[in-house]
Amino acid sequence: MKQEFKAIIKQVENKDAGFVEPPFDVQEVFGSKRVKVKATFDGIEYRGSVVNMGGCYMLGLTKEIRNKIGKGFGDEIFVTIEKDEEERTVEVPEDFLTAMNGSETAVATFNSLSYTGKKEYVTWITSAKREETRLDRINKSVALLSEGKKLRG
């Protein structure tokens, strides 16, 4: 059941992070307080979760999407959201897989990460502009994973 609404982009206090608040009871519509969704913001697709934070429901709006749609905090956007029941998978680049295979701990740690955790590692590696930066990020990633660490936090 797709929900469509206009919303104002709000800012997370003291952070360059945005979100919108759905104008309906998320628990009533989707049957839970936290729900994975497929969304669009002014037509730009996004997969994320609607979460209950401090009594209000919110859906994060990445800086990348804000830049693509040319809108910022306080601007109105058109939002669609629907429950996302598809399996979330991350395509891991071959060079990163090969590097991880040298460490059982790195592989086990990576496999234990959430979809978002895996996506953060892969995005960090694939966003490198130069090959040497990419290789450096792969090596740093394998080192962190070998220590059982997430990329952030």
Q: What is the tally of structural domains in the chain?
A: 2
* Rounded Cα–Cα distance for residues 110 and 147 (Å): 11
Residue 43: alpha-carbon gap to chain centroid: 17
The confidence score (pLDDT) of residue 26 equals 87
Please report whether residue 102 resides in a domain.
yes
pTM for this structure? 0.61
- Identify the domain containing residue 68 by its residue range: 3-83
Q: Are 7 and 75 in the same domain? A: yes
Which residue among 58, 83, 108 closes a domain? 83
Please report whether residue 88 resides in a domain.
no
Q: Are 28 and 76 in the same domain? A: yes
pLDDT in tens, 30-85: 888 788 899 999 999 998 889 888 778 999 998 889 999 999 999 999 999 999 88
CATH of the domain at 35: 2.40.30.100
Residue 47, φ and ψ in degrees, nearest 5 = -120, 130
Which residue among 28, 60, 83 closes a domain? 83
pLDDT in tens, 12-43: 888 888 999 999 988 888 888 788 899 999 99
Q: Are 99 and 63 in the same domain? A: no
Residue 126: alpha-carbon gap to chain centroid: 15
Which residue among 83, 106, 125 closes a domain? 83
